[in-house]
A = this chain, B = another copy of it.
Amino acid sequence: LDYQHVQVPFEITLWIMLASLAKIGFHLYNKLPSVVPESCLLIFVGLIMGGIIYGLNDKSPPVMDSDIFFLYLLPPIVLDAGYFMPSRPFFENIGTILLYAVVGTIWNVFGIGCSLYGICQVKAFRLQDVSLLHNLLFGSLIAAVDPVAVLAVFEEIHVNEKLHILVFGESLLNDAVTVVLYKLFRSFCEMSTIKSVDIFVGVGKFFVVGLGGVLVGLTFGLTAAFTTRFTKDIRVIEPLFVFLYSYLSYLTAEMFHLSGIVAIIACAMGMKRYVEANISLKSHTTVKYFMKMWSSVSDTLIFIFLGVSTIGENHEWNWPYICFTVIFCLIWRALGVLVLTFFVNRFHVNTITSKDQFIIAYGGLRGAICFSLVFLLPDFHRKKLFIAATTVVILFTVFVQGMTIRPLVDLLAVKRERESAPTVGEQIHIRFLDHLLAGIEDISGHWGQYYWKDKLEYFNSKYLQKILLREYDQPKSSIVLLYEKLERKHAIELAEAGQLGHAPSHPSLLRSGFLCSNKRTAITDKKLEDTLNPDVLENIQEILARNLYRIRRTGPAYNRHTLPGEAEPVEHAEEILILRHKSL
- A contacts, CB < 8 Å to B: 1-3, 5-6, 8-10, 13-14, 16-17, 20-21, 23-24, 27-28, 30, 67, 71-72, 227, 230-231, 233-234, 236-237, 239-241, 244, 247-248, 251-252, 254-257, 282-283, 285-286, 289-290, 292-293, 296-297, 483-484, 487-488, 490-492, 494-496, 498-504, 506, 509-510, 513, 516-517, 519, 569-570, 573-574, 576-577
Contact = CB atoms under 8 A, between A and B. Distances in A.
The count of identical subunits is 2
Contact of A9 (B72, B484, B498, B573): B72
Nearest to A8: B71
A301 to B, nearest CB: 12
Given A6-B251, A251-B6, A510 B506 contact: yes
Contact of A24 (B230, B247, B251, B488): B230
A24 B248 contact: no
Given A244-B17, A504-B513, A237 B296 contact: yes
A483 B499 CA distance: 9
Given A10-B255, A16-B240, A227-B24, A500 B573 contact: yes
Given A241-B20, A297-B240, A516-B499, A248 B13 contact: yes
6 contacts: A3-B255, A20-B240, A23-B237, A27-B233, A498-B517, A503-B570
Given A23-B234, A289-B286, A495 B490 contact: yes
Contacts of A255: 1-3, 5-6, 10
Contacts of A234: 23-24, 27, 296
Which 3 residue pairs are nearest across A and B when measured between Cβ atoms? Answer: A491-B491, A491-B495, A27-B233
B6 A574 contact: no
A520 to B, nearest CB: 11
A570 B503 CA distance: 6
A498 B510 contact: no
Given A290-B290, A503-B517, 6 more contacts: A10-B251, A17-B248, A239-B289, A240-B293, A282-B289, A499-B519
Contact of A506 (B227, B285, B513): B513
A565 to B, nearest CB: 13
Contacts of A27: 230, 233-234
A293 B16 contact: no
Contacts of A8: 71
A492 B494 contact: no
Given A6-B254, A237-B297, A297-B240, A509 B499 contact: no
Contacts of A251: 6, 9-10, 13
A296 B516 CA distance: 43
Contacts of A516: 494-495, 498-499
Please indicate which of the listed interface residues A6, A244, A297 has the most CB atoms of chain B within 10 Å of its own CB: A6
Contacts of A517: 498-499, 503
A514 to B, nearest CB: 8
Please indicate which of the listed interface residues A21, A23, A254, A516 has the most CB atoms of chain B within 10 Å of its own CB: A516
Nearest to A33: B233
Contact of A573 (B254, B488, B501): B501
A5 B498 CA distance: 64
A36 to B, nearest CB: 16
Contacts of A499: 483-484, 487, 516-517, 519, 573, 576
A256 to B, nearest CB: 6
Nearest to A11: B251
Contacts of A24: 227, 230-231, 234, 237
A509 B10 CA distance: 61
Nearest to A19: B237
Contacts of A576: 499
A309 B474 CA distance: 45
A573 B498 contact: yes
Contact of A247 (B9, B256, B293, B513): B9
A255 to B, nearest CB: 5
A571 to B, nearest CB: 10
Given A3-B255, A254-B6, A292-B236, A498 B484 contact: no
A6 B71 contact: yes
A36 B237 CA distance: 20
B503 A495 contact: no
A499 B247 CA distance: 44
